[in-house]
């Protein structure tokens, strides 16, 4: 199944005299049309072979989220491993809490994945000068949360598995999602209800690949909204690439990079696998 082919045209909101609707009402009307995409896939009796769920913790403030994700996966009876990738360095106290919570799980350091990408470039004689960063965080032109999201690109350098499913660290798993690891990569949830032809990068199924990891990093260093040379890439000899943003206003995030790289090559997962719920 490819990207969902549906939309909510303006005429849809003018039926039965409903010429003025609030944004909340429009979203509710629109979502009635995507109900078939909400149902989750049947839970498999076993985990897909050589596959893992993976999540990424950027800093110590996300430790409670990581612990909650691990516990919620256990509570719904997941039979699949959950790999935790840590953007080092984290305080010893944070690592101790994560090690205890993820006992029996694989914990990887993001710097190890960074090293695998660099080694792949050298082996292919494609090593280029790049910004000298003091950590594994990428894109000096981005700041704050946008700055951290580019760490997600390095997950494609994960070794030891032929298939993986990424779960954002702030997710709460309400039902078993092991069926995700049976889905053909690349698969993600459409960015409903705002962008029907783009996907949200909070959950996606992928094949770990050093070639993809290298291509995604290269794109992240070239990409900009306007096709001008991105700030922070001066002197790298890179040709700018103009890409369409995927919901951002000021700074590109991993979501735009992923959507550009996998444009026309992704399949849609049911919306229920990445549905936002406002918590008060």
**CA distances, 89 to each of 60, 84, 154 (Å):** 9, 14, 16
Distance between CA atoms of 41 and 38, rounded to whole angstroms? 10
Task: Work out the average pLDDT over 235-257.
Answer: 68
Picking from 43-57, 124-138, 244-258, which range would have the lowest pLDDT averaged per residue? 124-138
Q: Which two three-digit tokens encode residue 28? A: 């509710």
Q: What's the pTM value of the predicted model, to 2 decimals?
A: 0.77
Q: What are the structural domains of the chain?
A: 10-38+49-127+134-274 (3.90.550)
Distance between CA atoms of 189 and 3, rounded to whole angstroms? 9
Distance between CA atoms of 73 and 174, rounded to whole angstroms? 8
pLDDT, tens only, 170-214: 998 999 999 999 999 999 998 876 677 889 999 999 999 999 999
With CA atoms as reference, report the closest residue to 165 among 179, 146, 181, 151: 181
With CA atoms as reference, report the closest residue to 253 among 193, 189, 201, 185: 201
- For helices 92-101 and 63-75, angle between their N-to-C axes, nearest 10 degrees: 0
């Amino acid at each position: 199944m490819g990207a969902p082919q549906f939309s909510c045209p303006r005429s849809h909101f003018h039926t039965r005299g409903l010429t003025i609707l609030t944004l909340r009402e429009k979203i509710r009307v629109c979502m009635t049309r995507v109900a078939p995409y909400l149902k989750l896939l049947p839970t498999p009796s076993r985990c897909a072979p050589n596959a893992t769920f993976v999540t990424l913790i950027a800093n110590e403030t996300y430790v409670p989220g990581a612990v909650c994700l691990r516990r919620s996966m256990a509570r719904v009876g997941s039979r699949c491993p959950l790999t935790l990738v840590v953007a080092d360095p984290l305080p010893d106290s944070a690592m101790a809490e994560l090690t205890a919570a993820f006992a029996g799980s694989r914990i990887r350091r993001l710097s190890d994945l960074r090293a695998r990408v660099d080694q792949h470039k050298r082996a292919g004689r494609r090593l280029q000068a790049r910004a000298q960063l003091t950590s594994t965080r990428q894109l000096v032109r981005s700041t704050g949360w946008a700055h951290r999201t580019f760490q997600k690109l390095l997950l494609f350098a994960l070794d030891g598995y032929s298939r993986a499913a990424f779960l954002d660290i702030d997710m709460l798993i309400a039902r078993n999602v092991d069926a995700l690891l049976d889905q053909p990569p690349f698969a993600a949830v459409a960015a409903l209800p705002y962008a029907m032809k783009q996907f949200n990068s909070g959950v996606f199924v992928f094949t770990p690949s050093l070639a993809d990891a290298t291509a995604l990093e290269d794109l992240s260093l070239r990409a900009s909204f306007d096709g001008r040379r991105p700030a922070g890439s001066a002197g790298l000899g890179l040709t700018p690439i103009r890409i369409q943003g995927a919901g951002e206003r000021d700074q590109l995030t991993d979501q735009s990079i992923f959507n550009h790289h996998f444009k026309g090559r992704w399949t849609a997962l049911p919306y229920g696998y990445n549905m936002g719920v406002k918590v008060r």
